[in-house]
Structure 1
Amino acid sequence: MAQQEMAVEALSEDDARKELERLALILDAANTAYHRDDAPDLTDAEYDRLKRRNAEIESRFPGLKRDDSPSERVGATPAEGFAKVRHEIRMMSLNNAFDDQDILSFDQSVRRYLGLSDDDPLAYTAEPKIDGLSLSLRYENGTLVQAATRGDGAVGENVTANARTITDLPIELKNAPDVIEVRGEVYMNHADFADLNARQGARGGKPFANPRNAAAGSLRQLDPNITKDRPLKFFAYSWGALSAPLAETQSGAIDRLTALGLQTNPLTQRCDTPEDMLFHYRKIEEQRATLGYDIDGVVYKVDDLAYQARLGFRSTTPRWAIAHKFPAELAWTWLEAIDIQVGRTGALSPVARLTPVTVGGVVVSNATLHNEDYIAGRDANGAPIRDGKDIRVGDWVQVYRAGDVIPKIADVDLSKRPASATPYAFPHECPECGSEAIREAGDAVRRCSGGLICPAQAVEKLKHFVSRAAFDIEGLGAKQVEQFYSDGWITEPADIFTLKDRYGSGVKQLRNREGWGEKSAQNLFDAIDEKRGIPLERLIFSLGIRHVGEVVAKLLARSYGTWDAFVTAVDAAHDPESDAWDSLIGIDGIGSVVATSLVSSFAQEAERASIDRLVSHLDVQDAERPQTDGSPVAGKTVVFTGSLERMTRAEAKARAERLGAKVSGSVSSRTDLLVAGPGAGSKETKARDLGIEIIDEDGWFDLIEGA
Structure 2
Amino acid sequence: MPRRLLRALPAALVALALPPLPVAHAACPDWSAERAARELPALASQIERWDAAYHRDGRALVDDALYDQARARLEQWSQCFPAAARTPQALAAAAGPLAHPVAHTGLAKLADPAALEAWVAGQDDLWVQPKVDGVAVSLVYQDGALVQAISRGDGRHGQDWTASARQIAAIPAQLDSGPGRLLLHGELYWRLDRHVQAASGGAGARGKVAGLLARQALSRAEGAGIGLFVWDWPDGPPTMQERLAGLRRLGFDSPAYTQPVQQAADVARWREQWYRQALPFASDGIVIRHGTRPPAARWQAQPPHWAVAWKYPAAQALAEVRTVEFRIGRRGRITPLLHLVPLQLDDRRIARVSAGSLTRWRQLDIRPGDQIALRLAGQSIPRLDGVVWQAAERVALDVPDPARHHPLSCWRASEPGCAGQFHARLVWLGGRQGLALAGIGAGTWQALQDSGRLDGLADWLELSEAQLAALPGFGAARAGTVWRSLQGARQRPFVSWLGALGLPPSGSARLAADWTTLAARSAADWQKAGASHRQAVSLATFLAHPEVNALRTRLQAAGVAGF
TM-score normalized by the length of structure 2: 0.49
TM-score, normalization: structure 1? 0.40
User: Which structure's CA Rg is the greater one?
Assistant: 2
Q: Kindly indicate whether structure 1 or structure 2 has the higher relative contact order, using CA contacts under 8 Å at least 6 residues apart.
A: 2
